[in-house]
Amino acid sequence: MYRANILVCCGAECTANNAIQVYNTFEEQIKAYKLEKDVKVLKTSECLELCGNNEGVVVIVYPEGAYYVGVKPEDAKEIVSQHIIKGKIVKRLLKKEKEEAEVKSIEETNFFKKQKRVALKNSGLIDPENIDEYIARDGYQALGKVLTEMKPQDVIDLIKESGLRGRGGGGFPTGLKWEFAKKSQSDKKYVCCNADEGDPGAFMDRSVLEGDPHVLLEAMTIAAYSIGSDQGYIYVRAEYPVAVKRLNIAIEQSRKYGLLGKNILNTGFNFDIDIRLGAGAFVCGEETALMTSIEGKRGEPRPRPPFPAVKGLFGKPTILNNVETYANIPPIILFGAKWFSSMGTEKSKGTKVFALGGKIKNTGLVEIPMGTTLKDVIYDIGGGIPDGKKFKAAQTGGPSGGCIPASLIDIKIDYDNLVSIGSMMGSGGLIVMDEDNCMVDIAKFFLEFTVDESCGKCTPCRIGNKRMYEILDKITKGKAKMEDLDKLEELALYIKENSLCGLGQTAPNPILSTLRYFKDEYIAHIKEKRCPAGVCKQLLRYTILEDKCIGCTRCARNCPTNAISGEVKKPHFIDQEKCIKCGVCMKECKFQAIERK
Amino acid sequence: MINLKINNIPVQAEEGTTILEAARSAGIRIPTLCYLKEINAIGACRICVVEVKGARSLVASCVYPVSEGMEVFTNTEKVQNSRKMTLELILSDHNKDCLSCIRNNKCELQKLSGEYDCKSSKFIGATNNHLPDNSTDYLIRDNSKCILCRRCVAACTKRQEVSVIGANDRGFDTHIGSAFDMELKNVPCVACGQCITVCPTGALTEKDETYKVERAIADGTKHVVVGVAPSVRVGLGEEFGYSIGSNVEGEMITALRMLGFDMVFDVNFTADLTIMEEGHEFLDRLNNGGKLPMITSCSPGWVKYIEHYYPQYLDHLSSCKSPMSMYGAVSKTYYAEKFGLDPKSIYTVAVMPCTAKKFERTRTELSGGGLPDIDAVLTVRELARLIKRKGIMLNNLAKGEFDAPMGIASSAGLIFGATGGVMEAALRTLAEVVDKKELEHLDFNEVRGVKGIKEATYNLGGTDVKVAVASGLNNAKVLMEKIKNGEADYHFIEIMCCPGGCVNGGGMPVQSADVLNNMDIRAERAKAIYSADSQTKIRKSHENPAIKEIYKEYFEKPNSHKAHNILHTTYTKREKYTK
Amino acid sequence: MITLKELSEIKERFIENGKKEQKINIVVGLATCGIAAGAKAVYNRLNEEVKARNLKNVDVKIAGCIGMCRLEPLVEVYVPGESKVTYVNVTEDNAAKIVNDHIVNGNIVTEMLVEKD
């Protein structure tokens, strides 16, 4: 077994370029260094055919696979002395590709250029399993600053001044929340992190947990210092195994450095964090349900007041923030409230991470300054709608949010603007819909999710949502009457007003917002038994165009319910009573004679 | 004090008071379903919603605390519509077979639906077609009638701390059941029936034995005797419109006779017998280094509880059968012999304030000569149903008297119905037996009252005897943990499974939350018992002439060999979960 | 337990070492989105390639989500003194090309770069 192999091309062209001499030089050099046993010089009788355009002798050195061109006998000496002896590839002799790429890194794309990365600043850049990489990028400096230079109230004042609001849904001012907990007198207080991201299609928090877990630990420790807590819990869904693994590694490393545990950074401050796994219930993202679940009970919300800042986990003052909120804390400490509040709008400061999904070219995670227009997100960052389709609406806030119609595409995204048009920021799911999406179907999709995820504690959410779903189902099947629409609206408003927790109170939002902007679609389903977007299967009608049908009988032969009949070589027709709208006939027809409306 | 306005009426309330309570103090009733004072305040049903000026949405008044300057409106159109909608939604997934429902006319959902003029057909959609759990001998859960108020869960979990039921599944499929939907017979349920007494609808009922009893009475070959537990007489009246705490003993006896029972006996008689046996057992343990503290064994829920949860302490339990089982055993031995009856022909019926007695009846060790001590157990509710079905007008009946010899009782037996009663009855006898002189004061007030745990020390013949009385299994647990940790220096403990004792048993008449939230029915019923006690001539078990006679004629003396065979029993360790 | 001063020392040491070693870093986006698209196999393949070619000055590292989930698996190459290069839709098969063409022979694999948007 040789340590290295030197292949010298001795094909026709190379031979013409003194390949034999080059080969001999290699042989001599290897002998001179007494490397005959380690390095083998090979002559290839066949042309390596890689050189193409007569660039001189081609030499390939393995194991690296370095591809040298135009090698002259004196170059052979250098290759041996540099590459073989010192392991340094002779760059000068490497073959150069001519093409120069226009965009080399992802940062040069429009997708990235309009983003502003604060919460995601380390994601994708550092090794999440190596605390030193985090520290090298100023990790734990904010904690150091807080513990040595600031009083708890200073921290709270700074966060308040920054204008940071909760990134998990409601947008409650974070500093204020901490202040309430600080003011509550108790022998024990808790700092919790909601990492139970459950909105369909949202994965902002997962990204931070998997890419930058230490930022969370650092921020929670800062929070603990400011309210006077010594124990934290991260409630993370068990469906995030990578995140859980990296969090565990991060906690382990942090404890080893004494950045968690007793006497942190030798300041006398104690704080530790434990992980609690959620079993996948959406309602456990609701703060009181999350705490009930951490306590080991069935994850169900509790009435508020008392608020968690007064009586939370195990009946003690508790603060709960989501992952993205925490990820903003260390930068605020390091760069100041002014820096942070310079981004965003009047009442919504900083940035927000969105998970772009649906009918958009660039699906993925984007972090934008608050106040960016929906249009910029969809077209500049998201790359627009694929296949030249028309933008119809965007859904934010997941099952608790609403739809923003195309007419409002210039809206500046911030908490209050979204609420004013019947949607909400939510945790950051942003689903784009085009002309092929049926808005009734979309509302039904989200409601089905809520019906599945309701905890079943309060009557409005448990039974009311089910009844709303049943009405929507009737509408999409063409079986509803106009009075069902009134009942739907009545139920939606009732559930909003009467439910115990946020999940129930916001469950009707997808319905209310689509009713607000797309009522005509509902009416088309009910009155005309027609789905304008062509989505609702039961309302579709397949018909055979007489002028195009040549009577080949292919459709009739393939129809699973024998709904198609007709004589050979004469136009066929479909019995609508028997048709199950499976679409097989349309797929099978070679003459585009079948129309779906 | 906090100042607020409810429906524009100025109201003052203590800090921490809920809107619901504050409203009631101002004479305003807010309807409730899931709320039960002190044990269930979860804001789940949303019937009690009210409008609070400035609030984002309606709030649940049962859990929302008052605050200074608050303005509350309890009856606006919006509130009423909301309540109506809530009820109509509940009705849309409810078994509306009301006419044959055991709670017809007593159902809280039915009552509110009437008040709010609900259309039961407004929302028609999927329903949960739950099948009833019939697995035990004492209780039926029919979730098709359950409204998920979780009052039963609270009774089981917070009050009794037994926690064998909870919510399963979620969303529309949510239902109450045991872990992994195991049948009730396979979980450590103690059969106390507290869940039944707090259920607002007909979802929880005792297993009916009225038809069985009717058939026995109709069977000419059977000699059917009935024995009535102490608390029955102070509860039965509630089913016939009497106020809570009415004693209808005389009318009840007449009704039982009209039902066709051959003999109407008083379980107070065997309560006296229990005092004789248990008192002497205690003295024996005290004087001869037996296991102390000794714990009473009258309450079948408690006995089942210790068998499941503290089986290592079964030797603390008195070996005495309960008064009910003694009544059955004595009926089929002493009584049969004395009157020349074939024990096989005797059919023993017990009327009990208790569902656990239905379980106790099935214990094989409570039998003699191959015959079970007790053949049928009726709760007070079942007796009321039977009386009504037979067209007997309890309210119009003349007072009757129990049959001798097992109808003759001291009032020491009667006070068994209230927590502390067994202890007091035992003390009345022990004091005289040990000190050999008559007691001056018969009222042992330290062990009376609804407090969960009571302690006292009495001097018996120069020895200080420390006693404790607990009712409710949450309190029993406290005492058991003390024993476990070696912190219990008691000699004698009385434990009753149900909070307040048998007067609040799971077989007593059901009172709606409107009553339960505003009155302590345990205290009212107990009052009737102590009032009867104070007016009775014979107040000590050992002075009961029938008791003297039974020892003279049959058992010879307390704890004799014969007494042991017939009046004492054994206990078994029970697994918590089976199959 | 480290002190604040030691924390800064860790930072400086890490940066100093990086400068001294002058290593080429190949970073694979190994978040759930990447893993779902096959990044683990890519990561393994890159490691094998670097080992087989005996490239001592190259580290294959992991990172979280690099951002453009549509184009996963993403691999970024950091050569000291040069600007970063992002490869998209990397597969187990074409991962070796990054090592061969870019790392060893200094030629960026243009067909694996992100398209201009």
A111, A132, A210 member nearest C68 (Cβ): A111
Q: Which helix (H) or strand (E) holds A358?
A: strand A351-358
Residue A498's contacts (CB-CB under 8 Å, 6 or more residues apart) are A458, A459, A460, A464, A504, B46, B49, B57, B58, B82, B85, B86
Q: Return the SS3 of A236.
A: strand
Domain ranges of chain B: 2-75, 103-206, 210-567
Per the prediction, chain C carries an average pLDDT of 92
One DSSP character per residue, A369-408 reads ETT-BHHIIIIIIT---GGGPPEEEEEESGGGSEEEEGGG
Partners of B470 in beta bridges: B453, B495
Q: Is the pLDDT of residue B471 over 80?
A: yes
Query: β-strand C75-78 against C24-29: which pairing, if any?
Result: antiparallel
A439-527: CATH architecture: Up-down Bundle (1.20)
Mean pLDDT along residues B28-51: 96
Nearest Cα to Cα of residue B301 among B142, B175, B436, B190:
B190
Q: Which helix (H) or strand (E) holds A235?
A: strand A231-237
With an 8 Å CB cutoff and a minimum of 3 pairs, decide whether chains C and B touch.
no
Model confidence over B399-413: pLDDT tens digits?
999 999 999 999 999
Chain B contact set for A458 (CB, 8 A): 43-46
Contact B367, B343 (CB under 8 A): no
Model confidence over A485-509: pLDDT tens digits?
999 999 999 999 999 999 999 999 9
Chain A contact set for B85 (CB, 8 A): 464, 490-491, 494, 498
Q: Give me the pLDDT at residue C68, please.
A: 84
Mean pLDDT along residues A270-294: 94
Chain B contact set for A467 (CB, 8 A): 89, 92, 123, 125
CA distance B126 to chain A (A): 8
Q: Is the pLDDT of residue A13 over 90?
A: no
B360 catalytic, yes or no?
yes
One DSSP character per residue, C27-57 reads EEE-SHHHHHHTHHHHHHHHHHHHHHTT-TT
Kindly indicate the confidence band of residue A47, based on its pLDDT and cuts at 50, 70 and 90: low
Mean pLDDT along residues A436-451: 96
With an 8 Å CB cutoff and a minimum of 3 pairs, decide whether chains A and C touch.
yes
One-letter amino acid for residue B300 of the chain:
P
Mean pLDDT along residues A219-229: 98
Model confidence over B90-131: pLDDT tens digits?
999 999 999 999 999 999 999 999 999 998 889 999 999 899
Q: What is the CATH number of domain A343-434?
A: 3.10.20.600
Model confidence over B143-164: pLDDT tens digits?
999 999 999 999 999 999 999 9
Q: Give me the residues of A, 186-205, that contact C with CB < 8 A.
A: 203
Q: Is the pLDDT of residue A92 over 80?
A: yes
Catalytic residue among B21, B51, B251, B360: B360
Mean pLDDT along residues A442-463: 96
Mean pLDDT along residues B273-282: 97
Domain ranges of chain A: 4-93, 131-340, 343-434, 439-527, 540-596
B281 catalytic, yes or no?
yes
The structure tokens listed for B281 are 């057992």
B21 catalytic, yes or no?
no
Q: Is the pLDDT of residue A54 over 60?
A: no
Mean pLDDT along residues B20-34: 96
B318 catalytic, yes or no?
yes
- Rounded-to-integer distance, Cα A388 and Cα A590, Å: 26
Model confidence over A469-486: pLDDT tens digits?
999 999 999 999 999 999
Partners of A433 in beta bridges: A393
CA distance B195 to chain A (A): 18
Kindly indicate the confidence band of residue B236, based on its pLDDT and cuts at 50, 70 and 90: very high
- Rounded-to-integer distance, Cα A208 and Cα A196, Å: 13
- Rounded-to-integer distance, Cα B415 and Cα B426, Å: 11
Q: How far is CA B257 from CA B252, B260, B469, in A?
A: 9, 5, 36
Model confidence over A374-385: pLDDT tens digits?
999 999 999 999
> Any idea of the CA torsion for A274, A280, A285, A288, to the nearest 10 degrees?
-70
Taking every pair of C-alpha atoms in chain A, what is the biggest distance, in angstroms? 98
- Rounded-to-integer distance, Cα B448 and Cα B455, Å: 10
Chain B contact set for A300 (CB, 8 A): 167
Q: Give me the residues of C, 3-22, that contact A with CB < 8 A.
A: 3-4, 7, 10-11, 14-15, 18
The DSSP secondary-structure symbol of A340 reads H
Q: Give me the residues of A, 380-439, that contact C with CB < 8 A.
A: 383
The DSSP secondary-structure symbol of B191 reads -
- Rounded-to-integer distance, Cα A314 and Cα A333, Å: 30
Instruction: Report the percentage of chain A scoring pLDDT > 70.
Output: 97
Instruction: Report the percentage of chain B scoring pLDDT > 90.
Output: 96
Considering only the top CATH level, what class is A540-596?
alpha beta
Chain B contact set for A459 (CB, 8 A): 44-46, 86, 89-90, 148
Contact A400, A507 (CB under 8 A): yes
Model confidence over A173-203: pLDDT tens digits?
999 999 999 999 999 999 999 999 988 888 9
Q: Give me the pLDDT at residue A52, please.
A: 53
Model confidence over B490-537: pLDDT tens digits?
999 999 999 999 999 999 999 999 999 999 999 999 999 999 999 999
B298 catalytic, yes or no?
yes
Instruction: Report the percentage of chain B scoring pLDDT > 70.
Output: 100
Q: Is the pLDDT of residue A102 over 80?
A: no
- Rounded-to-integer distance, Cα B31 and Cα B83, Å: 9
Q: Is the pLDDT of residue B222 over 90?
A: yes
The residue among B577 and A169 whose pLDDT is bigger is B577
Q: What is the CATH number of domain A4-93?
A: 3.40.30.10
Q: Give me the pLDDT at residue A98, please.
A: 65
Q: What is the CATH number of domain B103-206?
A: 3.30.70.20
pTM of the model: 0.92
Pick the CATH number of B2-75 from 3.20.20.80, 3.40.50.300, 3.40.50.720, 3.10.20.740: 3.10.20.740
- Rounded-to-integer distance, Cα B454 and Cα C10, Å: 64
Query: CATH 1.10.3370.10: does it fit domain A131-340?
Result: no
Count of beta carbons in the 10 Å neighbourhood of residue A136: 19
Contact B237, B189 (CB under 8 A): no
Model confidence over B163-179: pLDDT tens digits?
999 999 999 999 999 99
- Rounded-to-integer distance, Cα A70 and Cα A59, Å: 8
Mean pLDDT along residues B326-355: 97
Which stretches within B485-574 are classed as H helix? Answer: 513-516, 521-534, 545-550, 561-567
Domain ranges of chain C: 23-112
Q: Is the pLDDT of residue A528 over 90?
A: yes
B98 catalytic, yes or no?
no
Q: Is the pLDDT of residue A271 over 90?
A: yes
Length of chain B: 579
Length of chain A: 597
Contact B366, B372 (CB under 8 A): yes
One DSSP character per residue, A40-74 reads EEEEESS------S--SEEEEEETTTEEEEEE-HH
C23-112: CATH architecture: 3-Layer(aba) Sandwich (3.40)
The residue among B460 and A56 whose pLDDT is bigger is B460
Query: CATH 3.40.50.1780: does it fit domain B210-567?
Result: yes
CA distance C9 to chain A (A): 10
Chain C contact set for A383 (CB, 8 A): 117
The structure tokens listed for B18 are 């809920």
Rounded to two decimals, the ipTM of the complex is 0.95
Q: Give me the residues of C, 39-98, that contact A with CB < 8 A.
A: 52-56, 61-70, 74, 76, 83-86, 88
